[in-house]
Amino acid sequence: MYICNETLNHPQNISDMNNKEFRFQGLDAKTELKLALMLIFPSLMIMLGILYGSHLLFPKISFLLPLLFGVTTVVGISIIILKQLTNLVREKEWIINIDDNFLNLKFRGINHHIQLSDIKIIKNLGNIGLRYLTIKTKSNVIKIRVGNTGLAPFSKQKDIDELDAFVQYLKPYIDKHFNEKVLKNIVQPNIIPNFGVYVAKGEKVKYSIINRMKPWQVVVFILGILVLIMIIFVNIMEYIFFK
């Protein structure tokens, strides 16, 4: 397994953080959103084509069967298309330099030069095979996306390990200058190294309604929304194809 030496020799204070560099393949949130939007039209056309085709060929079949088949097909094809689209993206490398009390993050020709003391929030979220790292200052938000799953085929495992090593290297500074936000809605808070939301000391820790929920309440809330969307979608499709 890939191991970065930075995880073994992280600094104990900010004065030790000199001339460290981390490189990994990934995307930013803006590029990730563009790829997702590019999938909407073909996915919708495939779904409507399956529903309409099943209505013509099997007019007496239950609506749920072609719907389930359509969802499965759309997910499978979306994974294939997303993989191809990701391969077309040039310059997927993030380069992060830590020099004294500054972070320099470079991605696709854009440089973000940030003083560590200007960072207000650090969010390190994700799960197995996926990392969402957000660094927020008063004037800027940098969102780093790294993943090697079917729906996030941006990177390899070594890239995930390198991002984890970067966060681990910052951890002594985070522990000293940040408060960790209590996330009651997380089932497995240790699913990735240093999982959490960290707010700079002196900044107000804000909690949304979702943050205050327990895991089972979040599940019920999400399922309720999905059921509502499904009911509306089914009624619309039945009206169009099966009236």
Rounded Cα distance between 35 and 38, Å, is 5
**27 φ, ψ (degrees, to nearest 5):** -135, 170
pLDDT the model gives residue 125:
93
pLDDT the model gives residue 183:
78
pLDDT the model gives residue 94:
97
pLDDT tens, per residue, the chain with 243 residues:
444 444 445 554 554 566 789 999 999 999 999 999 999 888 888 888 888 888 788 877 777 788 888 889 999 999 999 999 998 988 999 999 998 889 999 999 899 999 999 999 999 999 999 999 999 999 999 999 999 998 899 999 999 999 999 999 999 999 999 999 887 766 666 789 999 999 999 888 776 676 666 666 667 777 888 778 777 776 776 666 555
Give residues with Cβ within 8 angstroms of 156, minimum separation 6.
Answer: 25, 148
Q: Taking the domains of the chain in order of start, what are their residue ranges?
A: 5-26+92-207, 31-90, 213-243
pLDDT the model gives residue 58:
81
Angle at 123 between CA 184 and CA 149, to 5 degrees: 95
Q: Which CATH class, in words, describes the domain spanning 5-26+92-207?
A: mainly beta
